[in-house]
Amino acid sequence: MKSIFVTGGAGFIGSHTCLLLLEKGHIVFILDSFINSSEKSITQISIILKDKGIDTNGKIYLCKGDINNLEDIEKVFQMSIELNKEIESVIHFAGLKSVFESVINPLIYWDTNVGGTINLLKTMKKFKCRNIVFSSSATVYKSKLKSELNENDVCVPVNPYGDTKLTIEKFLKDTYKSSPNEWRIACLRYFNPVGAHESGLIGEDPLGRADNLYPRITKVASGKIDSIKIFGSDWPTKDGTCIRDYIHVMDVAEGHLYALNYLIKEKPQFLTLNLGTGKGTSVLELIRNFEKINNVRIPFIFDERRLGDNAYVVADNSYAKSILNWIPQRTLNDICRDGWNWQLKNPNGFSV
């Protein structure tokens, strides 16, 4: 079976994607610094798969290292050759993702996200690996008031994090254009990935600031924080709170497998695809839904609007659906149930 190199594979979306890759029989080489994750996510994957009768022995190579260090990346490619399990494709998750931190410390965001990706591409070129799926973000788009965002819409990020993602997309496009008969590149723009694997054995465990709405909801539900501050009640939406496109992390993970299969099957190309459900949910709707499905209370208070927020950020996912044949399968109820199951089973995330 094929060997896939997954940078940031121990993280939230990376771990769910590694699980699916292994389930499909692939070998995974993971490079992660664990700056925002734990090795335990990978041990848990083996447990989930063992329950399904899949043995991961000789299938997972977990390397601690930094994408900022070219040698760390080269070592992984070298190891795959020595093991006679040469890397065929890369899925590139590793990077920093806090909008707030990127404003405070743009240097480490540009260095890690852009610098790390340049190191990765240099190494891929050296080892003649020309297939890559990259984690981009809906944050690259200029917001629109009410309509869904599609891949041809204008991109104007409003924070350094978003700038790094758009810059990487441009760099990848230039790379493709330099040898269009060789490179197969997909930039996947995720909307709001949330939830957890249905087993409750892997999920989101942010180690630094957790500013996002969904992890804060699970923290309130478990009593770790008292209430949610809802940022604004006067947005031009049906209930006055912002609307987002929350997508189950397993649907996002599946999107990667579909994108990779498509890239390998079709001629070399550069693709940009939205990964979202196409359905908008307001902050209040998400809270109410979480309360109802899990029979818990989520106290909230209204606060000022958050700087840089937009009223409506929802994907037009028709392009991804039509070319990949990928259709998000899970509902908002699944998202609320699975995320809560993960939190209940792991009140301290991956720490004991």
- Binding residues among 45-74 for ligand WQD as defined by CB under 6 A: none
Residue 135 interacts with ligand NAD (CB under 6 A)? yes
Q: Of these, 7, 139, 199, 294, which contacts ligand WQD (CB under 6 A)?
A: 139
Q: Of these, 157, 160, 162, 193, which contacts ligand NAD (CB under 6 A)?
A: 193
As beta bridge partners, residue 57 has none
Neighbour count for residue 137 (Cβ, 10 Å): 24
Considering only the stretches 78-86, 186-194, 258-266, 290-298, report the one whose residues sit in contact with ligand NAD under the rule CB under 6 A: 186-194
Residue 167 interacts with ligand WQD (CB under 6 A)? no
Structure tokens at 239: 């209930």
Main-chain dihedrals φ then ψ at residue 116, nearest 5 degrees:
-65, -40
Q: For ligand WQD, which is the closer residue by CB, 7 or 137?
A: 137
Q: How far is the CB of 265 from ligand WQD (least distance, A)?
A: 28
Q: Of these, 4, 91, 187, 230, which contacts ligand WQD (CB under 6 A)?
A: 230
In the complex, which residue's CB is closest to ligand WQD? 242
Structure tokens at 321: 């659906």
Positions of E strands within the chain? 3-7, 27-32, 60-64, 87-92, 131-137, 184-190, 192-194, 228-231, 243-244, 246-248, 270-275, 281-282, 300-303, 312-313
In the complex, which residue's CB is closest to ligand NAD? 11
Active site residue 161: yes
DSSP string of 145-207, one letter each residue: SSSPB-TTS-B--SSHHHHHHHHHHHHHHHHHHHSTTT-EEEEEEE-EEE---TTSSS----S
- Binding residues among 175-194 for ligand WQD as defined by CB under 6 A: 192
Could you tell me if 179 and 266 are in contact, meaning their C-beta atoms sit under 8 angstroms apart? Answer: no
Per-residue contact string for residues 202-241; x = within reach of ligand NAD by CB under 6 A:
----------------------------------------
Could you tell me if 308 and 103 are in contact, meaning their C-beta atoms sit under 8 angstroms apart? Answer: no
Query: Interface residues with ligand WQD (CB under 6 A)?
Result: 97, 99, 137, 139, 192, 211-213, 216, 228-231, 242, 244, 283, 306, 309, 313
Q: Which residues are catalytic?
A: 161
